[in-house]
């Protein structure tokens, strides 16, 4: 098979052909295959510049893509012709979008419109809520690598209640302690890891370790920023959910996002008003749960040290379920027959096929998709610092409770090593007293004053394939220490119930050794020159 470019392709690595015509003469096709670059996201400042220097036009909108793609199922013309027509008649295009989404219920066409947002100066607490939307993409300012300043959000709820002064006083005291801790932790880390510190290339990493432990004392009101990429369908969901939130900050974020995106693409952001489902469901569930728990009698709450990792549930005989899925993929048998054979398989037979499925993996690979047929559910108690990393694993189901001061706090070992634990805990006590007072007046908005050290319960349901991703990234030596401990315990518990499925769990740095232990040889490694 040969191909030729429909456009002249200039020489050089940066040359791009935006349309390739593939010719397959032996196949006697009626029409040649065409692949067209229909569009891509660009910086809005570039768009503004182009619009300023061009005659007025209405077709600078992703709505034309949504409408033209929606018509593919009913219009035989090539899609590039449909796009050209959509651009020529924008108002008609918008009416079509509304008809397709609202009347016909084909909401997926909105996924062809994509937005990029800079979200600046919002609280760490709000960022947690923003990043709950799994099908969006985020890159966030890291508190591990950037020295924090004094910027923080004073929630409108707290200001309106006349409590801004005590709130601000505590947050400023937390920030002052952060800087004192960092100044003491930095030389401690460099001395503790003296061999690494001898190489100047490691200094930024060691400096980051000092910052990441000092930041346990800063509040969830600390300002952050992130870049977010979202298609219109997921953006609409975010807008509707945030519009129903009690948090004034989240409602303000929703209003600003809607104003910006709605100006560009009004026809594909339709269901953005707060609904009773989003506004009331969890409140009613909380009341119903209280009634059920009260009917069962009070139980003494167990005091648990952190980090807590409990394997609360898992697929029974998960190894056999994965094996059945592999037999299904490698045969023409129905799944029921494959499962019956897998359950009856001898240990050596099970191990043979699972080792075959894992045998060619590199450290950057994850198991084949059939490993997704085994699930594990973990009940976790983690700090805000740890949760911030846990929530990034979006190919999972993660639900959580509010932060709970009664669960205590996570104190980094390095804080103890420099003799600062008493000072750290005194600040936590002051924070908890302020939180209790604020909660009486403003309810959940009191959580802004809590620190990165405060804990919450989280329930994580994850399949075995995604557990490999968590393990590779979070058990690696470069991972932050708390999430590394949590991930290691998750792996340990998983191996107890699915030993064959979990044969190669472990961090990237340990992969070669893990592989050698299982297969008796080193994995085929990537040539080092590729990394130069």
Q: What is the pLDDT of residue 106?
A: 61
Contact 114, 229 (CB under 8 A): yes
If 0-12 CB within 10 Å is exposed, 13-18 middle and 19+ buried, where does residue 365 land? middle
Contact 398, 458 (CB under 8 A): yes
Helix axes 347-358, 511-519, angle to 10 degrees: 140
Q: What is the pLDDT of residue 378?
A: 98
Q: Which residue has the tokens 């979008």?
A: 97
Q: What is the pLDDT of residue 358?
A: 95
Contact 151, 121 (CB under 8 A): yes
Q: Comparing C-alpha atoms, which of 377, 342, 400 is closest to residue 493? A: 377
Contact 246, 279 (CB under 8 A): no
What is the residue-level pLDDT of the chain in tens, covering all 532 positions?
333 333 333 333 333 334 444 444 444 455 678 887 777 778 888 888 888 888 887 777 777 877 777 776 677 888 788 778 777 777 777 776 667 655 555 667 778 888 889 999 999 999 999 999 999 999 888 777 777 778 999 999 999 999 999 999 999 999 999 999 999 999 999 999 999 999 999 999 999 999 999 999 999 999 999 999 999 899 999 999 999 999 999 999 999 999 999 888 887 787 889 999 999 999 999 989 888 888 876 555 555 555 589 999 999 999 999 999 999 999 999 999 999 999 999 999 999 999 999 999 998 899 999 999 999 999 999 999 999 999 999 899 999 999 999 999 999 999 999 999 999 999 999 999 999 999 999 999 999 999 999 999 999 999 999 999 999 999 999 899 999 999 999 999 999 999 999 999 999 999 999 999 999 998 876 554 443 4
DSSP state for residue 22 in the 8-state scheme: E
Contact residues for 438 (Cβ-Cβ < 8 A; gap 6+): 158, 163, 166, 167, 445, 446, 449
What pLDDT digit, counting tens, does each position of 345-399 carry?
A: 999 999 999 999 999 999 889 999 999 999 999 999 999 999 999 999 989 999 9
Q: What is the pLDDT of residue 16?
A: 33
Contact 371, 501 (CB under 8 A): yes
Contact 62, 264 (CB under 8 A): yes
Is the peptide bond between 307 and the residue preceding it cis, with omega within 30 degrees of 0?
Answer: yes
Q: Comparing C-alpha atoms, which of 376, 391, 404 is closest to residue 467? A: 376
Record the tokens describing residue 56, joined without a space: 């007025």
DSSP state for residue 151 in the 8-state scheme: -
Record the tokens describing residue 149, joined without a space: 């300043």
Domains plus CATH for the chain?
1-37 (no CATH), 52-143+222-297 (3.30.1360.170), 369-410+453-531 (3.30.70.3180)
* H helices present in 89-163, as ranges: 90-98, 124-130, 156-160
DSSP E strands in 184-338: the ranges are 223-231, 308-314
């Amino acid at each position: 098979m040969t191909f030729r470019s429909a456009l002249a392709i200039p020489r050089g690595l940066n040359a791009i052909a935006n349309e390739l015509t593939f010719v397959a003469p032996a196949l006697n096709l009626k029409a040649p295959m065409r692949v067209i670059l229909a569009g891509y996201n660009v910086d809005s400042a570039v768009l503004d510049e182009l619009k300023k220097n061009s005659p007025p036009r209405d077709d600078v909108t992703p709505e034309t893509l949504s409408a033209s793609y929606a018509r593919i199922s009913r219009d035989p013309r090539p899609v590039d012709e449909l796009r050209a027509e959509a651009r020529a008649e924008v108002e008609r295009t918008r009416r079509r979008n509304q008809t397709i989404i609202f009347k016909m219920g084909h909401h997926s066409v909105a996924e062809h419109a994509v937005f990029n947002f800079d979200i600046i100066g919002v609280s760490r607490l709000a960022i947690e809520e923003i990043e709950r939307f799994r099908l969006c993409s985020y890159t966030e300012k890291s508190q591990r690598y950037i020295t924090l300043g004094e910027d923080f959000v004073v929630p409108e709820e707290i200001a309106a209640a006349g409590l801004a002064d005590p709130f601000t006083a505590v947050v400023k005291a937390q920030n002052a302690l952060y800087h004192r801790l960092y100044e003491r932790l930095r030389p401690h880390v460099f001395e503790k890891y003296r061999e690494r510190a001898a190489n100047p290339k490691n200094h930024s990493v060691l400096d980051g370790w000092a910052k990441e432990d000092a930041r346990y004392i800063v509040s969830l009101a600390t300002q952050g920023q992130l870049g977010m990429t979202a298609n219109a369908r997921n953006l609409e969901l975010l807008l509707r959910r945030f519009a129903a939130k009690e948090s004034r900050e989240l409602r303000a974020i929703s209003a600003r996002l809607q104003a910006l995106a709605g100006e560009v693409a009004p026809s594909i952001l339709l269901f953005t008003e707060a609904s009773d489902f989003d506004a009331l469901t969890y409140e009613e569930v909380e009341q119903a749960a209280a009634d059920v728990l009260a009917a069962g009698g009070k139980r003494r709450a167990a005091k648990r040290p952190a980090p807590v990792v409990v394997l609360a549930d898992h697929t029974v005989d998960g190894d056999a379920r994965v094996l059945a899925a592999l037999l299904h993929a490698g045969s023409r048998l129905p799944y029921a027959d494959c499962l019956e054979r897998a359950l009856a398989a001898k240990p050596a037979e099970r191990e043979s096929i699972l080792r075959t499925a894992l045998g060619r993996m590199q450290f950057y690979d994850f198991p084949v998709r059939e490993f997704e047929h085994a699930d594990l559910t973990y009940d976790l108690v983690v700090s805000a610092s740890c949760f911030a990393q846990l929530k990034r694993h979006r190919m999972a189901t993660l639900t959580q409770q509010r932060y709970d001061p009664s669960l205590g706090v996570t104190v980094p070992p390095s804080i103890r090593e420099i003799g600062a634990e008493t000072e750290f805990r005194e600040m936590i006590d002051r924070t908890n007293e302020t939180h209790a007072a604020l909660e009486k007046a403003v309810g959940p908005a009191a959580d802004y004053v809590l620190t990165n050290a405060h804990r919450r319960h989280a329930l994580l349901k994850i399949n075995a394939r995604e557990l490999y991703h968590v393990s590779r990234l979070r058990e690696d030596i470069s991972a932050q220490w708390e999430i590394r401990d949590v991930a290691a315990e998750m792996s340990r518990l998983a191996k107890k119930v699915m030993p064959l499925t979990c044969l190669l769990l472990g961090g990237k740095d340990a992969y070669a050794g893990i592989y050698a232990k299982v297969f008796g040889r080193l994995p085929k490694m990537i040539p080092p020159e590729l990394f130069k």
